[in-house]
Every structure is written in structure tokens, then in C-alpha cells.
A and B are shown apart, each in its own frame.
Chain A
């Protein structure tokens, strides 16, 4: 069963159906769109349930020739890194569609656009071919642009243009990088391919970048810039506040998935394909992450528009993801992974609730609220819950990612592993204080104080509004109390991505070599790369038959200093 193709193409199919429906049948179109959304969501859950534990490899892999002369394939696969991102995508787009069904201006078109974006997002997360990835990556720009430009607020044109220019400019770099990478892979491997796994083999055995001087660095940065714009990381973030403030409220909701493409891209492409360049760039990217965490938080403090504040808070929170990834520690990278999911959930919830506020007052400026807790205690309670999730209160989902990412950054810094100190982590921790400051201030201005005369008629949440919010809230709590449920399926793939970057050539995991696995049974080999006996099928849990590869394979899991240090001591 081609699970992934169906998953990716189902929303697009729905969008086409909506497109050919006559404009007069808006209501039917909306309902059809919602049905497609629900089916896609359920299908994504069915897909995730197919996955087997115990492997870092891609599963449910499909590959069809697309443009054969150029070696471009329609290849899809799913692994631990994308596990929760897929779920997040189908969940958030479904909620976005449900939210916009009451939209008065051409709701059918809006929902069709959301479905196109859903296809683009899922496609980008699941692509195993660089050109295919890039196509999906670009495919989401225009529908998003129209969403803002047609359904947005006062300054929608400028915001939409800014979004388009920023991301488009960023992705041009990436396109050049992809082409350069493919050509270099052809030089090294003799065959033109855009296949992710094929190129990664070359990177893993070291032949890809052998003797190419600074080329690896250049191509790394061409990817990195596109991804940093998407994340968005300081200093490429300024499209985001305008976008959040002017887009219809579903814009930020979808965007809270879309921005994960940035950090996902680092894990999926940069670490495996540009190992040395990734590690070499760590100090720069960690600086950007730490600055972003503090800068985003400081600027968030003075915002009066809730959507702008959430935008800056996202800049800050995504900094933790970047910090975790480029700490190159296991804790850090796991934290980054779970923080992506947690941030999607808690930002999704916050944006949804702000959407409810906006739908009642036609503004997101918190100065025109105040005291509405008296009228809307349920909304207030769940809003506060979302804020607490977002500020990383331990036992809610935001904490786990922040804690692990910061721990990772601190660990790498303390051990001096990659040429940077613990200062990044120490600075970044203060983002946690600032997050409490601006979010609680927003809450105070919105919900506390005396109820003004004009807000006397403010209504609490209706049941159909409460329902999606409660789903999110359940994940906020579940992710905080049982984070292992969310960490476990992602662990091997994250560890593999990290080892692809920090391992020595030849000791790196290879996506195309199914006899390589990462040991997940506790014991001295835990987290190490091992060779397993001829494997029949991807994902058959590895229970025994460890053939531990010789020498320097043991990667630093937690606290084990990198090999270079012990090697120095041996000299």
C-alpha cells in the first residue's frame, strides 16, 4: 500500500475537486474540504501506526521515476525525524480548515488553498529527492501568499509581499545549492542523482567532499540561509511579525508547522550531507540561536498585538530548536526534535485562542480587551494553560524540549566539544524568564482587571470552539507528563542524524545500508552504530546479533566526551 503517496496527494486531490466545483456551491465545497481534511488526518495516524520501532532508516519508502534523464525521482519515506511533524501537519491544517469554515469571503477557495499547502508540507517532510523537496518547498509559497493577500488584514499586501520575497530569495540560494550538490555528487559517484539517500552514502564514506576545499561550506550555507529564513532565525525573521499580524488567523496556525521546515531541513539535509561544514558552522548558528532567543523575547515584551507577540515568541522558541541541533549532543538534538512538536502544539493552541478573541472583537490588540476573565472564565483558563505550556512549565510539553536542548548546549559547551563555550546556553536560559514576562503581561492585559463597558457582552467559548482547543490542551499535558511517548519514536533517527554529522568518514550511519543500525537496547553499546546480520526488511526490530563495529564508533551519548579528547590524551 503506497501509504505516503496517498497521504501526500490526498489533500491535493481534494483541492482539485474543490477547484472544479462551481463557485456557487460554497457550502458543499467547505464540507467536502473538511471531509478531506479529516480523512487525511486519519490516514496520517494509520500511516504512523505502520511504522516499526528499532530502526533509524526510512520506512514505507516509495520511489517512482519522475524525470529519468536527470535522475529525479518521486521518492518518499518517513522516519523518526518526520514522525511527529507529519502528525502536526495533518492536525493543524484540519483545525485551520475547521476554523475557516465560517469564513464569509469565498471559504471554498480558502480551504482549497489550505489543502494545497497541506500537500506541500507533507511532501516536503517526506521527500527523499532534493528536487522533489524543493518543488514542495516552493509549492507552499503561493497559496500562502494568496491566503494573506486576499483574506488578510489592513496591511496584507505588504506583509504578503514581504513573506514571498524573503522566502523566495532564501530558496533561490537553496536551488543553486541543490544543483551544485548534485553535480558534485555526480563527480564523486559517477551518476547524476538528486536522491537524498544516494548522496548521503557518498557523504558518509567521505568521498563526496574529498579534496573540494571550501565547496562543502558554500553549499552548506546556501541551504542554511534558506532554512534560517524559514525557521525564522535572527536576523532573517522580520517577515514573520507582519505575516502573523496581517494574515487571517489560520495563517499563523499553518505557519507554526511551516516554520518547522527550517529546522527540519537542518536535520534532514545539512547534518547528513555536509558533516564537516555543519560542525564547523556550529559557533555561528549557536550564536544566532542564542541571540534569537533573547532578541525575540525582548522585542516580544513591547508588542501590543497578540499575533505579533506570538510571532516574536516563535522566533525565541525556535531558537531553542536551533540551539539543540547545533549542540551536536544527544540530549540537545532530542530536545530540538521534541521542541518542534511542542512548539507547534502550544503555538497552535495560542493562535487558535487569539483567533477566538479576534473573531469577537475584530482586533488582536490586547489594549482593547481587559477584564474579560469575568465573562469568559473557560477561555481564560485554557489561555493561561496554553501560556504555561509555552513558557515551559515543567510537567507541560514546552519544558521537555527546552530542558533537553539547553542541557545539550550546556553539555557541549562545558566539554568544549566543538570549539564553543557554555556561554550560549547560559545566556539562552534567560529567555525562559523573559518568556514568562511577556506572556503573563499579555494575559494580564487581556483577561485581568475591571471589565470595561464595551466588553460587557463578551461571550465565553462555545462548545464547538472549545473542542479543538481541548485537543491541543490534551497534547500539551500529555507531552509534558509522558514525553517519552513522544521522544521514543524519534530517538534513533535523531541519533543517526547527529552521528552522520559528527562521525568520522566511514563511521557514519548510512540511510542506504540497511545492515547498519543504532543499538537501542540498554547496555554498553546503547546509542552506538552497530552492524546487524542481513536484514530482511526495514524496521524489523533488532533483538540480537550485534556485530559491533571496531574502534572509535562509540558516539557521545551524554557526558562521554568526544573521541578527539581521549585521542589527544593517548598521544
Chain B
């Protein structure tokens, strides 16, 4: 069936080969041929994977609609009686969409990184991790069964860990990396349990014709049959799957790792923590949508969590002064939007927003990176201001990003995808009343989004003055670890960095409208509609007007507050901040609470167990014969002199003793 598509394996293998090359030969190549060669070697496999992916996508698109799901088989992986998990690939519109996003944006970000990381000593180590990430992410979306998805799922988590902690000499980065990996694993546990439950349900049903119980082509039709009559089980599986999505896609309450993950280099934030990895949860929900179609309860939970996260993160964004943190919370918030769409039953709208968001958020992050690069690695917006004049290309593309996410121009940027999400949330009742509540919440958050993005844009590029000019000349050199000084003259970034920005800006503007026309994207993903819900409505009367009002209102409000630069009550003295903003800056205390309960509390429990149980109770029983222990020790000391010989003697005595005992016992037995 998928014979002509077996070159899809190359799409995964190319970046993997890139990783192996970078990891084992990178330092050597860097020393011999310089960073430029290493950079080219890093970009090439991802770009090649993109070209191959694009070709395969076009081939897929030229097939008849009903025949666009192909399985490409590979070798066996885990194989026991009754359960077979092979390496296999499922080529379908969902997977190929993600392939294009991952390799397309991935290539651009690789190009950008060659400029951004140019002064980095560990140049090849960085690209080794980046290539490995691309390979893992491709595995996640292309894998033909859940365990393969899980390889990618944990693989991207690993790469995220490695890249957040890339500058490992600063322990703050490493701690953020650990946090990311561990919090993600909590979600992974949920996903694992979902896999177990699915395996057993499918196996028990006796409907599976072969042992590939977890392969999508075998599992999904059977799940549909079983779960139709068992909504409770659908809810159980749905919630477990969503638990995994919450971890990877940074939804409340597991979002806590994502803001800290900004400790990594900025291209990493753009690629992993905005465009690709964090959208895995939405991909998972789309892949397993049959479960959610059959569980209104799980769908309602998704809507509720998505809406709450969108609101919560958007509020927090107002309290951030670090430009990357603003974008991080904005990502969390936008991911919340995607889940609102999925919860409402309009899975394609979630993917639609994944797609548009990937472009404009990557653009915003890379733009922020360019600003940071131009400002001697200073990330605090309170030191920025009037940068547009110095960074015209960066500034212009960032304005495109700002317009795209704020969505105040109809059909530009994220307008259409957000519109589709809110429309489907308001117009459908799959998730019950909650989806309407989520929809209205989303509309409100859209206004907030426009406002905090305007805040970020104006604080950075416009305003009344260049605030870094106020930096006091450093008297003691310990103070200035950021290196930004009053005399600093920002310079536009090199072409390797602004070129990707321009490409992303072009796509950010046009892609949404193009995909939205004639429901092109929805039709591409689900040509026949959904199995249970059929065609899902995406329109709601007057929504266009309402969201324009929200977006423009938010933008104007933001403009009015920030047009003159940094307001006095948001300056360096946090005591002058409004109580709300201070609470927002601290994430309403949630992160601190989590840390207290699980880290501090956990350590207390561990200490208690170790002291109270490990040492006293258990050993007490043994060391009640403590005298015996010391006596054995004495004997041991004596025999050590001629250790081996004496020990042989001891063994001999022991064996004789045992045999003698046996003779005795068996004589008893014989006499019976």
C-alpha cells in the first residue's frame, strides 16, 4: 500500500544521521573546517528532509481523498506472543502537515541558529541536539503506533532537556532543564497508562486480526467499536491521553516547566517551545480523536482546561518584564486556544491554529532573539525602547508577528484559525455548556492577547526614550553580567538571522487566509468529516465583528498605556507595581506552591522514610543481633590473614555440615 512512500523513512533518518555526524565528528569538523562547514552540515539534513517531505506531501495530495492514509512498514521492534509493536509509519495528511511544519520551520531556525550561536564554543554540540530533536519530533508525528509516538514523545523531551541546559555552567539553566524533563514525565505516565488501557481493551475485544494492538490502523477502528457502547471507558482513556497532552503542551497545572524553559538559547525556544514540541498534545488529540468524539465528558474537561489555561497565562503575561517570558506565557495561552477547539470537537481547528501559530510564534521568538542578540543578551524590556530605528528589519517583521497574534486585521495571521476555534466552541454542543463558556472566555483572552502583545511591542520598539541609556556606569564589574551599557549602539542582525525572519513573516501574513479559504485545511485533514461527529460547524453569527472589536479594543488599550514607553508604576521598583501585576509576575503563587509541596515536601518525606524506616526499623531487627554482627566481624578479622586458604577450610566445614545434616534428616525420613 505504502510502497512508494518508503522514502518517508529517510525523512526521519536524515536528521538522525546529522545528529550522529555532529555528535561524533562535530568537534573535529569544527576544528578542521570551521563553524561554517558545521553549520551547513547541520542545516542540510533538515532542509533535505523538508524537500523530501514536501514531495511526498504533494504525492499524497494527488491521491483520491479516501485513499490518503498509508502504512509504511519497517522492522520489528517489540515482539512477544500476542503483542507486536513494529517500527512503522503512518503517512496521512495530519502527519505530513506536521512534517512540513517541523522540517520547514526547523530549517529556517537552523539557518538562524548558525548566526545566533556563531560565538558559541560548543557549536556542534548545539546542532547535534537540534538535529536529534528534529528526528525525534518526526518520529512522534510519523510513527504508526502509540509506542513509536512515545519514543518521539520522550525523545523530544530529552532534547528539550539537553537544550534548555545547553549552557550548563549556570545551574539555573540546568535546574530549569531538570524541571522540564521531570514535569513532562508526569504527563508521560498518564500517556503510558492510556497505552496500557488501550492495549488491554483491544486485546480483550478479540477483534484484532493481528498482534499489532497499538498500531493506529488496527487500534482506532476497534476502539471506535468498543467505546461506542462504553462512554465511561472512552472518558477514562480520553482523560489519560489528555494528561499526557497537558504535560507536553504545557497546560494547567503542568505548564510550570515552560516559562523556565526559556533559559535555553532563543532558537530553541522558537523551535521547541513554540512551534513544534509543545503542539504534540494537539497532534495526539487529533490522532486519537475517535476517543474524544465518543466522550463528551473528556471533551468538556479539555475545553475547561484549555480555556482556563488561556486566561491564566494571558494574565500572567502582563506581569512579565522579560521579553522571552512574555512570549512563553503567550505560547501557553495560545496552546489553550488550540485545546478549546479540540475540546469542542473541531479537531482540525486545533491543528489549524498549530500551523499558523507555528509561523508567527517562531517569528516572534526569533525576532526577540534578534533583539536580545543586538542588546548584548539583555532580555529585560525595561532596558529597551525605541529600538525600531536601530533594527528596521527585525522591527518590521516583529510588527508582522504582533499583528498576526493580535489578529486585529481580518484574515491576516492567526485571525482565521482563532476565529475557527472560537466559532466551533460557540456553535457546537459536543462538550456541552462548557464549550460556550470556553468560547466566550477565549474571546476575552483574545482582547488580553492583543493588549499584552502591544505592551511588548511598544516597550521594545517604540516609546519616548532609549531606556538602556539610563544604565548607570558599572562601578564594580560584578554587577554587570548582562554586559549592556549606556553607550551601547544596537546593530541590525546578520543576514543569516534576518532572512528566516522575513520568510516567516511572509508565511505568517498569508498562510491563515490561504488555508481558511473554502475550508481548505479542514478538508485536507478530514476530507470525509469525523467518524462520529461528522462535519463540525465552525461559524457563529457576528463572531467576526466581535473578535475584531476584542482585538482592536485590546490593541488600543495597550497602545494608550504604553505609547509613551514604560509607565512609572511598572518600573524597576516592584513595590510600586499594582497588586494584581505583582501577583501576575509571580504566577499567582502557583509555581511556588508546586515547588513547596512536591520538591520541599517530597524531600521531607524521603528524609523521614530514610531515617525512620530504612535505618531504625528494618535494621533494628537485624542489628538486634548486633553483637552477633561484631562477633562475625572479629572472626573475619582473624581469618583475613590467610584469606583464601582459611576460607576454603570454612567452606569445607560448611559443606560437611550440610551433608551431615542431610544424612541425619534422611535417616529420619527413611525410618518413618
Contact = CB atoms under 8 A, between A and B. Distances in A.
A62 interface: no
A149 interface: yes
Interface stretch (B79-87, B419-427, B504-512): B79-87
B632 A331 contact: no
Contact of A410 (B154, B193, B669): B193
Given A165-B625, A179-B665, A331-B80, A299 B197 contact: no
A345 B257 CA distance: 32
Contacts of B80: 330-331, 334, 404, 487, 491, 558
Interface of A: 19, 67, 69-70, 72, 109, 112-113, 131, 134-135, 138-139, 142-143, 145-146, 149-150, 157-158, 160-162, 164-166, 169, 175, 179, 183, 186, 192, 235-239, 241, 295, 298-299, 301-302, 330-331, 334, 371, 373-374, 388, 393-395, 400, 403-404, 406-407, 410-411, 414-415, 425-426, 429-430, 432-433, 436-437, 440-441, 444, 447-451, 481-484, 487-488, 491, 495, 520, 522, 526-527, 557-561
B602 A298 contact: yes
Contacts of A522: 211
A449 B81 contact: no
Nearest to B174: A448
6 contacts: A135-B655, A149-B636, A238-B614, A403-B78, A487-B79, A560-B206
B669 A192 contact: yes
Interface stretch (B307-315, B344-352, B390-398, B643-651): B643-651
A441 B178 contact: yes
B647 A146 contact: yes
A394 B182 contact: no
B633 A161 contact: yes
A447 B168 contact: yes
Interface stretch (B39-47, B261-269, B316-324, B656-664): B656-664
Interface stretch (B184-192, B529-537, B565-573): B184-192
B168 A448 contact: yes
A142 B197 contact: no
Contact of A444 (B153, B178, B618, B659): B178
Nearest to A411: B200
Interface string B66-94: 00000000011111111100000000000
Interface stretch (B443-451, B452-460, B603-611): B603-611
Q: Which of A161, A162, A235, A441 has the most CB of B within 10 A?
A: A161
Contacts of A162: 619, 622-623, 629
B182 A429 contact: no
Q: Which of A72, A236, A302, A444 has the most CB of B within 10 A?
A: A302
In order of increasing CB-CB distance, the 6 nearest A-B pairs are A559-B203, A558-B82, A557-B82, A527-B81, A410-B196, A161-B629
B137 to A, nearest CB: 14
A558 B189 contact: no
B150 interface: yes
A298 B174 contact: no
A406 B640 CA distance: 45
Contacts of A241: 614
B609 A299 contact: yes
Nearest to A522: B211
Interface string B594-622: 00000000110111011001110011001
Interface of B: 75-83, 147, 150-151, 153-155, 158, 161, 165, 168-169, 171, 174-175, 178, 181-182, 185-186, 188-189, 192-193, 195-197, 199-200, 202-204, 206, 211, 213, 602-603, 605-607, 609-610, 613-615, 618-619, 622-623, 625, 628-630, 632-633, 636-637, 640, 643-645, 647-648, 650-651, 654-655, 658-659, 662-663, 665-666, 669
B189 A433 contact: yes
B661 to A, nearest CB: 8
Contacts of B186: 433
Q: Is the interface of B mostly helix, strand, loop or mixed?
A: helix
Contact of B78 (A411, A444, A483, A520): A483
Nearest to A160: B636
Given A149-B640, A448-B174, A559-B199, 14 more contacts: A70-B662, A109-B644, A143-B647, A149-B636, A165-B622, A179-B665, A239-B622, A295-B613, A298-B606, A299-B609, A331-B83, A411-B203, A433-B189, A495-B81
A440 B82 contact: no
Contacts of B645: 19
Q: Which of A331, A371, A522 has the most CB of B within 10 A?
A: A331
Contacts of A404: 78, 80
Contacts of B76: 484
A113 B645 CA distance: 11
Contacts of B654: 138
Contact of A161 (B632, B644, B650): B632
Contacts, number: 229
Contacts of A482: 75, 77
A85 B623 CA distance: 33
A388 B614 contact: no
A484 B79 contact: yes
B647 to A, nearest CB: 5
B78 A484 contact: yes
B32 to A, nearest CB: 18
Contacts of B200: 407, 410-411, 414-415, 559
A439 B80 CA distance: 30
A411 B83 CA distance: 13
A449 B171 contact: yes
A429 B189 contact: yes
A449 B169 contact: yes
Nearest to A384: B162
Given A395-B151, A449-B169, A407 B199 contact: yes
Nearest to A393: B154
B636 A145 contact: yes
A520 B79 CA distance: 12
Given A19-B644, A238-B619, A483-B77, A302 B610 contact: yes
Contact of A426 (B193, B203, B603, B644): B193
Contacts of A441: 178
Contacts of A520: 81
Contact of A491 (B81, B188, B643): B81
A449 B169 CA distance: 4
Nearest to B186: A433
Contacts of B618: 235-238
Contacts of B625: 165
A410 B81 contact: no
B598 to A, nearest CB: 9
Contact of B633 (A157, A236, A407, A444): A157
Contacts of A449: 168-169, 171, 174
Nearest to B644: A19
Contacts of B213: 558-559
Contacts of A425: 196
Nearest to B199: A407
Given A394-B151, A558-B81, A558-B82, A161 B636 contact: yes
B510 to A, nearest CB: 38
Q: Which of A109, A175, A298, A425 has the most CB of B within 10 A?
A: A298
Contacts of B647: 142-143, 146
Contacts of B82: 330-331, 526-527, 557-560
B197 A410 contact: yes
